[in-house]
Amino acid sequence: MDTSKPAVLVNGGLLRGYVGQRVRTVAQVVRPDAGGLTGRSTDEKQIDVKGKMPAAVTTFVEVIGVADGPQSICAEIVTNFGDTFDANNFNQLCRHANGDFRHLFI
């Protein structure tokens, strides 16, 4: 596992705490934009993703990149995560990764 560029697991609400840092999240695609897409985070907040998208985008995507604003990510990697995804489970994961169990995450 390449640990040279760690990315923090965030949801919409946690993103603002990591502006300037590398983050990763899963969002539901709301609509494509010029230069990227608008997404909805697993805690129902808007996330703007800028960067190169895959040709065809599924309902859910994983975004890894640098947070360049309280609700915006400059994406390095965007991966299709399919059309079924349990947003609640992911959201709880983000809370654990940034809360009581942060010492278990890079």
Partner 1 sequence: MSSTSIPRQVYLLASLNPYQGNWTIKVRLTAKGPMRHYNNTRGEGYVFSVELTDDDGTQIQATMFNTAARKFFEVFDLGKVYYISSGYLKRANKTYNCVDNDYEMTLNENSQVEEAVNEPVLIPETKFNFVPIDQLGQYLHKKELIDVIGFIQHVSSSMSIRRKVDNEIVPKRDITIADDTIKSVIVSLWAPLATGIGNKLLDMFDASPIVAIKSLRVSGFGGITLSTITNTIIDINPNSPESHKLKTWYGSEGSTTKFEYVGSTFKTGLINDAPSLYSDRVGLDYITNNLSLGEAKPVYYTTRACMSFIKTNQSMYYHACKTCNKKLTNNVGSGYSCEMCKTTQTDSNLRYVVSAKFSDTNGEAWMSLFADEAQTIIGCSATELDNMKSKDDGGAYQTQLKKATWVPHVFRLMVAPQEYNNDKRQRITVKIVSPVDYAAESKFLLDDISSTQS
Q: Which residues bind partner 1 (CB under 8 A)?
A: 84, 86, 88-89, 92-93, 96, 100
H helix and E strand count, the chain: 2, 6
- CB of residue 90 vs partner 1: minimum separation in angstroms? 9
- CB of residue 55 vs partner 1: minimum separation in angstroms? 27
Report the greatest alpha carbon distance in the chain. 39
Residue 92 DSSP SS3: helix
CB nearer partner 1, residue 40 or residue 96: 96
CB nearer partner 1, residue 66 or residue 87: 87
Task: Report d(CA 34, CA 84) in Å as an integer.
Answer: 26
- CB of residue 93 vs partner 1: minimum separation in angstroms? 8
Across the strands, what pairs with 60? 28
CB nearer partner 1, residue 74 or residue 87: 87
